[in-house]
Every structure is written in C-alpha cells, then in structure tokens.
Chain A
Amino acid sequence: KAGVTQTPRYLIKTRGQQVTLSCSPISGHRSVSWYQQTPGQGLQFLFEYFSETQRNKGNFPGRFSGRQFSNSRSEMNVSTLELGDSALYLCASSPKRGTSDTDTQYFGPGTRLTVL
C-alpha cells in the first residue's frame, strides 16, 4: 500500500503571498491531520478533517485553512505569508474505523516551506 504523499516537497515563497499544500492519504484512510514543525515551537497541530468536515482545529490564526475532498485528499492553504510561517508541514492520515477510538496516524514526508 502506498504511504501518505505530499506535494510539493519544497516550496519557496515571499512574504504576503499565499500557498496551497496537498496531501493524499493512504488508500482507505478517511481522516487527515496537518501539523506544523518549527525548531522553536516543535510539532504543533493545525487541524483535522474527516468526511470533508473539519472536526478539530489547533491554535493558529485564520490565515491557515484547509479542506478535504470526497476522495479524502486534503489541501491546506496559508494566506498572506509571514516569515514565521517557514516550517515543515506534515500531513498524517488514519483509518478512523470508529469515532470512539483514536487511530494511529501515519505521516507523509512533509512539505518544506521557506518564506523570504
């Protein structure tokens, strides 16, 4: 089974621009979570999508948004980029067999975003 894929792998943008990152989950997985990893703040949860609905959101400004499509693929968007948005953005998918249990998350290779 193919793992989680993320595109692009590397991205360079300038302040004020916007960016869209894509994540394709493992086949059959229905939940997608996004994380931001920086040297200063570590790994921080951005949001989670299940069946095209955002079910949970971390403590990030509204410039960070996402969506999930009917095939479970997900995108996240960052508008009006700031220097501090430079980070590794990781996507993870899980099966979500049932809502009463927490499934294991499997991560993609990440997108390295550099904001100049």
Chain B
Amino acid sequence: AQKVTQAQTEISVVEKEDVTLDCVYETRDTTYYLFWYKQPPSGELVFLIRRNSFDEQNEISGRYSWNFQKSTSSFNFTITASQVVDSAVYFCALSGPGGTSYGKLTFGQGTILTVHP
C-alpha cells in the first residue's frame, strides 16, 4: 500500500521568509512518481512538479525548489522569499507505475501555508 505523510499541518511565515514543506512517502513499487500540487482557496488543484523515482536530480523553478531523496523516502518543497500569493494548501502525492495504480494519486493530508505581509 502507498502512503504519503506531510508532517506539518499548518505553517505560518512572514513574507520574504523561506519555508520548507516536508513530504515522506511509502511504497513497495520500484518505479513510482511523486507530485506536488497547490490548492488555493478557489479549490482547484494546481500542478507544480512531477518527479520519477529513477530521477533523483533536484529541481529549481524560480522561487520553488524540490529536494528528492530516495534514501530517506522524502520529497521536500522549499519556497524561497515567500510571498502572500503563496498562501494555499500544498499537497504531496504519489502514484505507482500502472496496473492497480491506474489514474490513482495517493495524497498526503496537505500543509496549509499562510504567508503574512
């Protein structure tokens, strides 16, 4: 069975602070896929990044960066110089290679990020 744990339920920071959202996953699949989504108050889940299990390169996109470590089964997300617009719920998700994982994402419970001006 797959499981995703986001230890932080809520994080509150002041604008321009850096913030890291933690994600730890469990899976028996040797090939798997990890995702981060952002859910603003409007409700729609916005795709941020996808990482395949065989690609451990970290990634940076503007103020966003992701640290994937297979050894610790973690896929953490850092926002540098946070802004008020970053306030949202962030979800980490996991999917398997197919078969019983067709079309199925297993989500963590989400981290509510509030950035104060």
Name the segment of B17-25, B57-65, B70-78, B104-112 touching the other chain: B104-112
- Given the known interface contacts A42-B107, A107-B37, the answer about A56 and B43 at a Cβ–Cβ threshold of 8 Å is no
Query: Bound complex: CA of A79 vs CA of B86, how far in Å?
Result: 38
Total interface residues in chain A, CB < 8 Å? 31
Total interface residues in chain B, CB < 8 Å? 26
Structural contact, A102 and B95, CB atoms closer than 8 A: yes
Chain A residues with CB under 8 Å of B117's CB are none
Interface Cβ pair total, 8 Å cutoff: 72
Query: Bound complex: CA of A51 vs CA of B34, how far in Å?
Result: 25
Assess whether A33 is interfacial by the CB under 8 Å rule: yes
Interface string of A35-66 (1 = CB under 8 A from B): 10000001111011110000110100000000
Interface string of B92-114 (1 = CB under 8 A from A): 00011110111111111110000
Structural contact, A110 and B110, CB atoms closer than 8 A: no
Assess whether B30 is interfacial by the CB under 8 Å rule: no
Residue of A with least CB distance to B49? A104
- Chain B interface (Cβ within 8 Å of chain A)? 33, 35, 37, 42-47, 50, 91, 95-98, 100-110
- Chain A interface (Cβ within 8 Å of chain B)? 31-33, 35, 42-45, 47-50, 55-56, 58, 88, 90, 92, 94, 99-102, 104-110, 112
Apart from A45-B103, A102-B97: 9 A-B pairs, beta carbons within 8 A? A42-B110, A43-B91, A44-B107, A94-B103, A100-B97, A104-B47, A107-B45, A109-B42, A110-B44
